[in-house]
A and B are shown apart, each in its own frame.
Chain A
Amino acid sequence: MRFRYALLTGLFLAALTGFPLVEWAIAAASAQSQSPWHGARAGVAVKATALTRPAVLAFYQARGFSAEAIAPYADACVFSFEVRNAGKGPLRLRLAEWRAAGGPGGMRFRLPEEWDADWERQGVPQAARIAFRWAQFQAEQEFAPGDWIMGMAALRPRPAGPFRLVTVFHRGDRRHEIAIDNVACAP
C-alpha cells in the first residue's frame, strides 16, 4: 500500500516538478533508515545528509581552518540540508525554529553567527571564516518558487541516538512542519 502511494505520489510530483521530488518519493517508499533522509509537504522538499567527522574536517581544513579550530564543529552532529520550494509563493525559514526532538528538551541547530563568534575569538583566518559562513545553511532565508538552497548546519550537543528532525517553514501566514523520524548523526 505504501509502495502504491509512493508511486502515485512520484508520478504526480513528476508531472508537477520533475525528477528530484520523484526520487525522494521513491526513496520514502523504501523507508530508508540511513542518510540521506527526505521529507516533503505543502510544496516544500527537504533532504538531510549526515556528514562524517573526517569529511567535515577535510572540507574545512582545505578552506584554511586548523584541525583544532574546526574540531568542535566536526565533533557536533553535522548535516548538509537541501530545501526546494516547489510550491506557489515565497517560502521563509528560520533555522532557529528547527529542532531535534526526542531528547530532554530537544536540541537546536547552532546558528552560523554563533560559530563565527568562536572563529573570531580564536583568530581563524578571514578567508576560512568567509568559506565557513557561505557553506552554512543560512539562519534566515526567503526564496521564490523554483528556488532551492543548501548548506551545512550542526546540532550541538550531539544527540546520543536517533531523533525526530523537525523542520519549520512559513508560506504567507501559514506555518508548516516537516518531521522526519529516526534521523541520526553520522557515525
Chain B
Amino acid sequence: MPHSTERRRALGRLAGLGCLLAAGPLVAQGGGMTPVAGRPPAPPLALPDIDDKPVDLAAYRGRLVLVNFWATWCPPCRREFPSLGRLQKKFRPDELAVLAVNVGEEAETIFSFAGASEVTILLDRDSAAMRHWPVKGLPTTFIVDRQGRLALRAVGGREFDDAAIVRQLRALLKNA
C-alpha cells in the first residue's frame, strides 16, 4: 500500500510541523546557559582584534563579558553569530561586552563572513589562548562575571538574545 504509507508519512510530517508550531514558545525560551560550578577565575585572554589592536579580557573587569569561541566553517557558530550582536544591543556597553574569539582563521576570511560586526572579534590564530580555556568543541561560550570569574557556559549553538539568557545576564548584573 504505497499510497497509504506515503499518506501516513505526510501526516506524520504535518504532525511534526504542528508540534513545531506548538512547541515554538518552548523552543524560544529553551536553552539558557549552565552555571559553572564554583565560579573559577577566567583564564587569561589577550589577543589582537580584527584590526590588529591588542585586547585584554582583564581590562573589562567590572562588566559582564561574553566570550564566544567560534570559526566561520562551523555551522552552529555561523547560525548563532548574529544573535551575539543582538544581545550586545540589549545591554549598555558598561554592562556587557561581547568578545568573539575566532580560532585559526585569517582576518580576510573572518571579515568576509562577519563584516562590520557589533561585537569585538579576536584572532586566536594558533589556538594557543583557547587551550587555556575549558573548551572541547565549537562553539563554546562563557559568561565572565564582573569579578572576572566563569559564571555561565554554553556548549553548542544558542540564540543569545533569547529571553532566558538575557534574564540570566540581568540576574548576574544585579547580584554581582
Contacts and interface: CB of A to CB of B under 8 A. Distances in A.
B49 to A, nearest CB: 19
B125 interface: yes
A63 B23 CA distance: 38
Contacts of B31: 146
B103 interface: yes
Contacts of A61: none
A17 interface: yes
Looking at chain A, what size class is its interface with the partner chain? 35 or more
A150 B23 contact: no
A116 to B, nearest CB: 12
B9 A10 contact: no
A150 B104 contact: no
What interface size band does chain B fall in? 35 or more
B32 A10 contact: no
Interface stretch (A23-31, A155-163, A165-173): A23-31
A19 B23 contact: yes
B137 A145 contact: no
B12 interface: yes
Contacts, number: 108
Counting chain B CB atoms within 10 Å of each CB, the highest count among A14, A30, A59, A133 belongs to A14
Contacts of A137: 137
A126 B128 CA distance: 12
29 contacts: A3-B8, A11-B19, A14-B20, A14-B22, A18-B20, A18-B30, A19-B16, A19-B23, A22-B23, A25-B16, A26-B15, A26-B16, A127-B125, A130-B104, A131-B71, A131-B105, A133-B127, A134-B74, A134-B104, A143-B155, A144-B153, A145-B34, A147-B154, A147-B155, A148-B76, A149-B136, A149-B137, A149-B155, A150-B76
Interface of B: 8-9, 12-13, 15-16, 19-20, 22-23, 26-27, 30-32, 34, 71, 73-76, 103-105, 125-127, 136-138, 153-157
